[in-house]
Homo-oligomer: A and B are copies of this chain.
Amino acid sequence: MHAAVLRYFDHVARHGSIRKAADALSVASSAVNRQILRLEDEMGVALFERGRSGVRPTAAGELLLRHVRETQNEYQRTRAEIASLGGTVSGDVRIISLESMLVRFLPQVVDEVSARHPKVTFTVLAVHPSEIGEALRSGDNDFGVLFVDARHRGVDVIAEFPTSVGALMRPDHPLAGRKSLTLTECVGHPVVMLQDRWLLDAIMAMEFSGSGARLSPRVVSNSIEFMRQVIRSGLGIGFFTPIGFIEEIRRGELVHVPLAEPGLAQSRIGILVPRYRRLSPPARLMINHISERLGAFADFLAAPPRRRRRGRS
């Protein structure tokens, strides 16, 4: 429905090069070039600065770019809305997520929703914390399953669940019997750490700013799955919410001891949506399912049982 020039313009801006964009679009670069030139003629201003190694949007280009991308996003959402009129929800859901949710919790939810609504497709991405704000506000994603962080602007929290970041370790670890821990108490015990992934870094800096103490990372990785195995083999303590390790905790293979630091003990996982964004039917559906599942895990999230027990009580 929309003119091809919208896609061309968007791609050129993304790739910073007409030829690269044309290549990605599988059209001749001359075609893309002419469309851009025609567009600039229509607008009466230059939309790109031509450099020696590509193009860069001008101020006018940035303004038009925002309009074009918003139009494309709204078009996709509208299509999903129309496709869902018949009763069967359809369309793509774009989710950004904590990596710890992404490896265990979300696959299950996706599986359930997918079974009940076969025409819904899913795009689930782990994002670097520094890109969360941009990822949400760009409009490219429907919502995020993330730690609630008051620093995010232009983002609404439409559901949230208390959880606690805690120390994850084997039951035979010396600290496994504790009811709670401070980070300082973990000094001296080997820990495994995510590579610069989230707020823990900032809080750790505060915690240890006075004392010269340091956690000694025995293993650093950016893979949750790798760390899961490392912790299970007893190589050290990890710091996570229990959500990605529910099965191991239930089976008694791992123990989760909440951290006493404020702001960690009372962390909240929430569903974050860009403010003023209309949600597509599949996005609403997915949000409902996630909320439901998270609600069922609420006790686990806040205070997981220390030992194996039967039922969900």
Contacts and interface: CB of A to CB of B under 8 A. Distances in A.
In the complex, which range does the number of interface residues on chain A fall in? 20 to 34
A60 B85 contact: yes
Contacts of A39: 1
Contact of A78 (B64, B83, B85): B64
Q: Please state the number of chain copies in the assembly.
A: 2
Interface stretch (A67-75, A155-163, A173-181, A260-268): A67-75
Contacts of A276: 276
Contacts of A5: 1
Interface string A1-42: 111011000000000000000000000000000000001001
Interface in A56-87: 59-60, 63-64, 66-67, 70-71, 74-75, 78-79, 81-83, 85
Nearest to A5: B1
A156 to B, nearest CB: 12
A296 interface: no
Contacts of A187: none
A43 interface: yes
A45 interface: yes
